[in-house]
Amino acid sequence: MSDVAKAGRAGRGVRWDFSGEAVLVTGGARGQGRSHAMAFARAGADVAICDVAAPVEALDYPLSGEEELEQTAEDIRALGVRCLSYPVDVRDEPAVARMVEDVVAQFGRLDVLVNNAGVNAIHEATEMPLEVWRTVIDIDLSGVYHCSRHAARAMRERGGGRIVSTGSANSTLTMPHNAAYTAAKHGVFGLTKALAVDLAPYGIRVNMVAPGLVNTALLACAEAPHVPEDYFERLLKVGGQVSLFHEEPQGVEPEEITEAVLWLASDSARFVTGASISVDCGFAIT
């Protein structure tokens, strides 16, 4: 293991304290969202999670179900904190509004929003079904806006809060057959900066994490029958190396992204807003 890798391992073990705070994580049933939600709970926060918990026809891989959503909620409660769970589609703005209102009513506050819900679908740009385009844009970008605007209203009344959204390496570059995802994730970065400016007077910080390839169920979109067999070879020609640390796994685990999310949500990042933190093993710079 290299000195860089050893330093990374040694740096783990930072313990955050979110006791007395309330956190909402979208897409919280599995993958990165589950990792974030569990970490906030271990740090003492009361946690609310939501997920679509139903099939989305335009996508080529199964999303989480209600069983996964409820299992994550049970696992969070087992840590000794309160947890609320909502089968909410972030495309449904009225449902998002009701969810945020209920979180505040149940917890008495909302301090942190983690916009994690996201999907992908791989299609050559001119052949992409319009329903796929609309689905990816509506979930990955409009969903971030819906959740942020309602969470920000609740935070504004309390005098502050933090919003952390999940962008991507695709927020600054692109990959083959990723037109919708790239457009959405570029939009998330732009929205992050716009919200940071508008919400700063109310003490609300807004930032973004930009993961590279993460070992979650979302990668299953590359297994659809219409995706070329050499897709990942094409990806590497455009995006560069998946990892600059050759001895490290190809792709990172959700917990690595969680560390950046909790830092951005903590007081340690109190002077950070409108920023994007890449957690991609150098993928976006190669």
Q: What is the pTM of this model?
A: 0.88
**Active site (annotated) includes residue 61:** no
Residue-wise pLDDT tens for the chain (286 aa)?
333 333 344 345 557 999 999 999 999 999 999 999 999 999 999 999 999 988 888 887 778 889 999 999 999 999 999 999 999 999 999 999 999 999 999 999 999 999 999 998 888 899 999 999 999 999 999 999 999 999 999 999 999 999 999 998 888 887 778 899 999 999 999 999 999 999 999 999 999 999 977 665 545 444 555 656 655 565 655 656 666 665 555 567 889 899 999 999 999 999 999 999 988 767 777 6
Read off the tokens for 197: 């400016």
Interatomic CA distance for residues 135 and 162, integer angstroms = 27
Question: What is the C-alpha to C-alpha distance for residues 215 and 235, in angstroms, rounded to an integer?
Answer: 16
Full DSSP string of the chain? --HHHHHHHHHTT-----TT-EEEEET-SSHHHHHHHHHHHHTT-EEEEEE--S--TTSSS----HHHHHHHHHHHHTTTS-EEEEE--TT-HHHHHHHHHHHHHHHS---EEEE-------B-GGG--HHHHHHHHIIIIIHHHHHHHHHHHHHHHHT-EEEEEE--GGGTS--TTBHHHHHHHHHHHHHHHHHHHHHGGGTEEEEEEEE-SBSSGGGGGGGSTTS-TTHHHHHHHHH--S-SSTTS-SSB-HHHHHHHHHHHHSGGGTT--S-EEEESTTGGG-
Distance of CA 11 to the CA centre of its chain: 23
In the chain, the percentage of residues whose pLDDT exceeds 70 is 81
Which pLDDT score is estimated for 216? Answer: 55
Q: Hey, what amino acid is at 241?
A: Q
Amino acid identity, position 282 = G
Q: What domains, with CATH codes, occur in the chain?
A: 3-7+17-285 (3.40.50.720)
In sequence order, what are the beta bridge partners of 86?
50
Q: What is the pLDDT of residues 219-231, one digit of tens each?
A: 544 455 565 665 5
Which single residue is written with the structure tokens 């917990």?
A: 255
Question: Out of 61, 86, 181, 202, which one is annotated catalytic?
Answer: 181
